[in-house]
A and B are shown apart, each in its own frame.
Chain A
């Protein structure tokens, strides 16, 4: 049992750490690690998310560029994404429902993290499954939206509503986001299974890394999921509302 590396060198409790700017300088100039309150797993997820931020930023900025440079009128998302409910056309309603769906999944994810740290693993696993359900529902609605637009003649190279660049921007941005949601759903199901079985209580080794997991994985999973919601906030604002 002594084979476990006991990392005593950076046992720094929160109370001994200084706060504010002095603390930041002290953290960055200190020995061994700069992120005193975040494990390597969490720090790496954050760094991945920063890189992903740049990917989505490039998509949104290229969308801005083509929209600004075209001389043809940009199609009105408000009308294109309207749905007829009860004989009445409601603008952008599908996108609004998708937004609320994703926010709800973020809420259940945040609560799952809480229950995971409280070692209430059944509740945590169920909340993660609920999160995955809302995520899958989101992807389903997106598939519906894509089908509807493709039937209406929207293609990456043109559409009947206006500027040709609308299609390529739409498919690229929502497609990449939907892909992120799909990966998140798979990731959620894997972690939910591990939590439900109590893998992190008995120290069962993961199938992929062959290492023991910790309940912090739920929080790291949560970071990814909230990021997907965060990206949707920007897509909703810039692509659908602008």
Chain B
């Protein structure tokens, strides 16, 4: 606390701080070293995904590598930069589970897209 103004301001700040529930008063503070490490890892992983394109890998190997590097990067960002690793399980589950429903929509639309493509080939002879 670096407040050196008059007394009223000071006591005001203290009251304001006391008003915060204890569980959130200290916030998320982690060593800078950890952030630099994750930063470095994200650089390496991004370079890896770029190299997938640069070396022009094709087919399943390309898709597999893209997905792996993507998920690793997303995991690092959410876990460390967004502090999910230190949140309570109640929040983690509430935030990370619902987006999985997107996979259902993805499966349905993949099916649909495939079917549309099939019909176009059959009827328009493309």
Contacts and interface: CB of A to CB of B under 8 A. Distances in A.
Interface residues of A, number: 85
Given A50-B95, A78-B53, A99-B50, A237 B81 contact: no
Nearest to B63: A242
B95 A46 contact: yes
A39 B21 CA distance: 8
Contact of B15 (A4, A230, A233): A4
A125 to B, nearest CB: 14
Nearest to A118: B29
A13 B53 contact: no
A5 B21 CA distance: 11
Interface residues of B, number: 75
Given A72-B126, A226-B81, A96 B50 contact: yes
B61 interface: no
A209 B18 CA distance: 21
Interface in A100-150: 100, 103-104, 106-107, 109-111, 113-114, 117-119
Nearest to B118: A69
A201 B73 contact: no
Interface in A67-87: 67-72, 78
Nearest to A216: B27
A172 interface: no
Given A4-B15, A234-B70, A65 B91 contact: no
Contacts of B124: 71
A13 B22 CA distance: 6
Interface in A2-28: 4-7, 10-14, 17, 19-21, 23-24, 27-28
Contact of B81 (A17, A67, A106): A106
Contacts of A7: 19-21
B26 A117 contact: yes
A227 interface: yes
A27 B35 CA distance: 29
Contacts of A10: 21, 23
Interface of A: 1, 4-7, 10-14, 17, 19-21, 23-24, 27-28, 34-39, 42-43, 46-47, 49-50, 53-54, 57-58, 61-62, 64-72, 78, 91-92, 96, 99-100, 103-104, 106-107, 109-111, 113-114, 117-119, 198, 201-203, 212, 214-216, 219, 222-223, 226-227, 229-230, 233-234, 236-237, 240-242
The 5 A-B pairs at the shortest CB distance, nearest first, are namely: A68-B113, A71-B126, A27-B90, A69-B116, A107-B39
12 contacts: A17-B23, A36-B90, A61-B105, A62-B109, A91-B53, A106-B39, A110-B81, A117-B26, A117-B29, A203-B13, A203-B16, A230-B74
